[in-house]
């Protein structure tokens, strides 16, 4: 446990606000709106008044759903510095899944974008006292009168509390909170039957921040382009919390991060560090690099030692410039990086590092910064010494076994789910990751596969195929299904039809195909954008199963390539 005041999560932000009062803190890239640390502190103070008026007390949960913007950041920090527990919900979750999370977490307040609110009815979330728009703060209330928490009334109470020029540095004294207390509940999945709310203590967030400070990942001069969803542990920890705790400046991308949008933002902001998921880097690699190295002259030059060095240097320079030209390193996480892409980027000495983490560790487990060597090719770096321990459980003759972790960054457990908690956490504090790997003689971790069935979306979102299959299996003419991921991240459903029902309905093959396409549309209407089934393929007989009647998934991956 990180017990010193220096590493106390709330104290990190008290110090940063006071020391960086007039510096820019967050900018909404789409609109250009910028909040200094002073104005961010004012937002937080106004939200604290709102919480008081709504009767929120220490330990109450506050749900938060919307795209990256300065209001999202304000609510997150306001909840934790007040003593509440924040419940971030990915903006891509389907409305039904968001409703489940809000109710399961027992949230008392909800801050939500207008677009996300359209699919939710107040009567569906009976435990919520009031809903506030992340667009303009307007309240939608049940137990609290709208007049009591409208913007004009909160401004009046703010001016009464902070007369003579508004909030000042000396007012920055937040709730005294131990790092043992709960910071957030992050849901790794949205569907009712499979939801797991990761209980993240303040200590886990502080552990990630401590590592970022000690290894120079953030500073008062940091500039970040935050395009990963802040509701996801990866972007939240480093693009947001670590950066602001050091006095850095976060530029928030609130749109879908296409390569075109990102390259424009990188050129304008010139970030000092870049957090990305493999898909983004791979798309830019294919757009910028592959056309160059595929032409006969360049491909020929790359085979000659001396000319190859010059060509690689030129390609590296162009790629670095495309990302703004001033970043120290690009950190890749959230999903496996294409080996071909990684090998080429290592060859040209592109400043890129790969880390390993999970929501249950808020998220970082292993990493080696670029200035410390960047790790070995295809590795995920070393364990975070002094913060995390990593071991391999029951290794085989090649040293491969399940990755086990424990330390400052680990979760407390799954909210209201003791059975799931017992399944992954040992009595002596080790967390079963469900991933397979090995650790070499130098301490570098190599991921060799996932023992779990979880898939990863294009921005590192968790996708649980069983959830989608459960929906598909309830559709007409479906006996069983298997959701697999194509190498380009598209989801494909293999379906074994219920031939008895098909025969009873006297369907032709064309009619069966139409029925399956309708099933696909109906299921997709219930899923988040990153969970969408791209296509359905019919399978002629039941899938081969283990003695426990689980489908042997590995037998079918090659069928969608």
* CATH code of the domain in which 32 resides: 3.40.50.12780
Whether residues 341 and 212 fall in one domain: yes
Closest to 404 measured CA to CA, from 378, 376, 433: 433
121 in a structural domain: yes
Whether residues 213 and 91 fall in one domain: yes
Q: How far apart are CA 16 and CA 244, in angstroms?
A: 7
| Strand, coil or helix: 139 | strand
Of the three residues 355, 371, 387, the one that is the final residue of a domain is: 371
Question: Who's near 539: CB < 8 A, 6+ residues apart?
Answer: 482, 494, 495, 496
Query: In this structure, how many other beta carbons lie within 10 angstroms of the beta carbon of residue 254?
Result: 19
Query: In this structure, how many other beta carbons lie within 10 angstroms of the beta carbon of residue 340?
Result: 11
Residue with tokens 């390539």: 561
396 in a structural domain: no
Whether residues 108 and 249 fall in one domain: yes
184 in a structural domain: yes
Whether residues 358 and 481 fall in one domain: no
Whether residues 203 and 330 fall in one domain: yes
pLDDT per residue of the chain (561 residues) written in tens, 0 to 9: 999 999 999 999 999 999 999 999 999 999 999 999 999 999 999 999 999 999 999 999 999 999 999 999 999 999 999 999 999 999 988 898 899 999 999 999 999 999 999 999 999 999 999 999 999 999 998 899 999 999 999 999 999 999 988 999 999 999 999 999 999 999 985 433 457 999 999 999 999 999 999 999 999 999 999 999 999 999 999 999 999 999 999 999 999 888 899 999 999 999 999 999 887 888 888 788 878 777 777 666 677 666 688 888 989 999 999 999 999 999 999 877 878 889 999 999 999 999 999 999 999 999 999 999 999 999 999 999 999 999 999 998 889 889 999 999 999 999 999 999 999 999 999 999 988 899 999 999 999 876 667 787 877 787 878 788 888 988 999 989 999 998 788 999 999 999 988 999 999 999 999 999 999 999 999 999 999 999 999 999 988 875 445 677 878 877 776
Whether residues 471 and 361 fall in one domain: no
Query: In this structure, how many other beta carbons lie within 10 angstroms of the beta carbon of residue 12?
Result: 22
Residue with tokens 């005041």: 5
127 touches 107 (CB < 8 A)? yes
Of the three residues 371, 393, 413, the one that is the final residue of a domain is: 371
| Strand, coil or helix: 156 | helix
DSSP string, 433-482: EEEEEEE-TTS-EEEEEESS--EE-TTS-EE-HHHHHHHHTTSTTEEEEE
400 in a structural domain: no
pLDDT tens across 472-506, in order?
988 999 989 999 998 788 999 999 999 988 999 99
pLDDT tens across 330-355, in order?
999 987 787 888 999 999 999 999 99
* Exposed/middle/buried for residue 283 (C-beta within 10 Å: 0-12, 13-18, 19+): middle
523 in a structural domain: yes
Torsion angle (degrees, nearest 10) of CA 63, 66, 69, 73: 10
- In this structure, what DSSP letter does residue 383 have? B
Q: What is the pLDDT of residue 135?
A: 96
Of the three residues 371, 390, 411, the one that is the final residue of a domain is: 371
Q: How far apart are CA 2 and CA 9, in angstroms?
A: 9
| Strand, coil or helix: 364 | strand
Burial 184-218 (b: 16+ CB within 10 A, else e): bbbbbbbbeeebbbbbbbbbbbbbbbbbbbeebbb
| Strand, coil or helix: 517 | helix
379 in a structural domain: no
Torsion angle (degrees, nearest 10) of CA 176, 178, 179, 183: -60
32 in a structural domain: yes
220 in a structural domain: yes
Query: Domain with 500 in it: what CATH number?
Result: 3.30.300.30
Domain count, the chain: 2
12 touches 206 (CB < 8 A)? yes
Whether residues 173 and 300 fall in one domain: yes
Closest to 357 measured CA to CA, from 327, 381, 393: 381
Q: Look up the domain containing 154 and give its range.
A: 1-371
């Amino acid at each position: 446990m990180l017990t010193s005041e220096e590493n106390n999560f709330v104290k990190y932000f008290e110090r940063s606000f006071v020391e960086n009062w007039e510096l820019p803190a967050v900018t909404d890239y789409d609109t250009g709106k910028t909040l200094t640390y002073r104005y961010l502190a004012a937002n937080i103070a106004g939200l604290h008044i709102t919480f008081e008026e709504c009767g929120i007390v220490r330990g109450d949960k506050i749900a938060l759903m919307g795209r990256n913007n300065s209001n999202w950041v304000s609510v997150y920090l306001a909840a934790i510095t007040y003593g509440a527990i924040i419940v971030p919900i990915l903006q891509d979750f389907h409305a039904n899944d968001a409703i489940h999370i809000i109710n399961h977490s027992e949230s008392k307040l909800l801050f939500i974008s207008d677009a996300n609110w359209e699919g939710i009815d107040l009567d569906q979330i009976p435990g919520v006292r009031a809903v506030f728009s992340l667009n303009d703060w307007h309240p939608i209330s049940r137990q609290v009168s709208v007049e009591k928490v409208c913007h004009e009334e909160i401004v009046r109470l703010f001016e009464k509390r902070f007369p003579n020029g508004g909030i000042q540095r000396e007012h920055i004294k937040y709730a005294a909170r131990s790092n043992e207390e709960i910071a957030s509940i992050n849901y790794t999945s949205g569907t009712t039957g499979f939801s797991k709310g990761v209980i993240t203590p303040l200590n886990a967030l502080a552990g990630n921040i401590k590592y970022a400070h000690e290894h120079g990942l953030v500073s008062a001069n940091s500039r970040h382009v935050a395009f990963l969803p802040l509701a996801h542990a990866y972007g939240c920890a480093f693009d947001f919390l670590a950066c602001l705790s050091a006095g850095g400046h976060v530029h928030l991308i609130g749109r879908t991060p296409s390569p075109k949008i990102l390259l424009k933002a990188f050129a304008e902001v010139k970030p000092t560090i870049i957090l990305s998921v493999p898909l983004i880097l791979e798309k830019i690699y294919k757009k910028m690099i592959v056309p160059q190295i595929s032409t006969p002259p360049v491909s020929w030059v790359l085979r000659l030692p001396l000319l190859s060095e010059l060509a690689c240097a030129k390609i590296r320079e162009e790629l670095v410039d495309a990302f703004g030209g001033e970043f120290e390193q690009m950190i890749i996480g959230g999903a496996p990086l294409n080996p071909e892409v990684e090998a080429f980027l290592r060859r040209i000495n592109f400043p890129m590092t790969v880390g390993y983490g999970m929501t249950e560790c808020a998220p970082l487990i292993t990493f080696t910064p670029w200035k410390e060597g960047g790790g070995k090719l295809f590795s995920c770096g070393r364990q975070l010494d002094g913060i995390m321990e990593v071991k391999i459980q029951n290794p085989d003759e090649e040293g491969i076994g399940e990755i086990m972790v424990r330390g400052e960054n680990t979760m407390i457990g799954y909210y209201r789910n003791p059975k799931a908690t017992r399944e992954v956490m040992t009595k002596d504090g080790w967390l079963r990751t469900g991933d397979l790997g090995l650790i070499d003689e130098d301490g570098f971790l190599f991921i060799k596969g996932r023992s779990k069935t979880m898939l990863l979306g294009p921005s590192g979102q968790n996708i649980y195929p069983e959830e989608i299959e459960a929906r598909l299996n309830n559709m007409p003419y479906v006996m069983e299904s298997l959701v697999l991921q194509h190498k380009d991240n598209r989801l494909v459903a293999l379906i074994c039809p219920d031939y008895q029902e098909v025969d009873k309905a006297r369907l032709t093959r064309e009619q069966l195909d139409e029925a399956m396409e309708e099933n696909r549309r109906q299921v997709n209407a219930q899923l988040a954008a990153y969970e969408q089934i791209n296509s359905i393929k019919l399978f002629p007989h039941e899938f081969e199963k283990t003695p426990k009647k689980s489908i042997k998934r590995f037998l079918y991956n090659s069928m969608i390539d």
